[in-house]
Amino acid sequence: MPQLSIETIFEAAIRIQILEEGALSLVFTPEGISIRFPTTRRLADELGVPHYYVLPYFAMMEQDDLVTRAERVGIMTTQKGSRKFLEMLTGKFHDSAATLLGPVVFAEIQKRMGIGDAED
C-alpha cells in the first residue's frame, strides 16, 4: 500500500487524467483556472487503498485551500490547488501534458498561472 499524502493524491489525479484517460477538464474564470479532480473512489482505486483512506486527505486539502467540493459538481482545484497541480504537471509529466494539451495551449496555461518558463 502506498504512503498516502496530498502529493501522492495530486500525482494519482495527474496519472489518471493525463496518462490513463487522456483528458483534462479545465474551467477558466477571471480569477484563474480550476481543474476537475477525479472522484475520491477513482483515486482510491488508482492508489490501491480503500475509499475511506483518501477522504481525510480531501478534508485536509479543503482546509489548505487546495480543492473545493460541491454537490453534483465534483471536486475542483482552487487557484492554489491549480498552481500545485500545474507545477507537478510541468515537472514529471511535462512531455505527456504537452502532448495532450499541445505545446501552445500548455505554454499559455503555464503563463497564465505564472509557472515555469512557459517557452515550450
The DSSP letter of residue 69 is E
Top CATH class of 6-113 equals mainly alpha
**Residue ranges per domain, the chain?**
6-113
pTM, two decimals, is: 0.89
Cell of 27: 474551467
Task: Output the CA angle 13-68-78, nearest 5 degrees.
Answer: 75
What are the CB-based long-range contacts (under 8 Å, 24+) for 21-26? Answer: 22/100, 23/100, 24/97, 24/100, 24/101, 26/109
pLDDT (tens digit, 9 = 90+) per residue, 16-67?
Answer: 999 999 999 999 888 889 999 999 999 999 999 999 999 999 999 999 999 9
Residue 39 CA to residue 52 CA, distance in Å, equals: 12
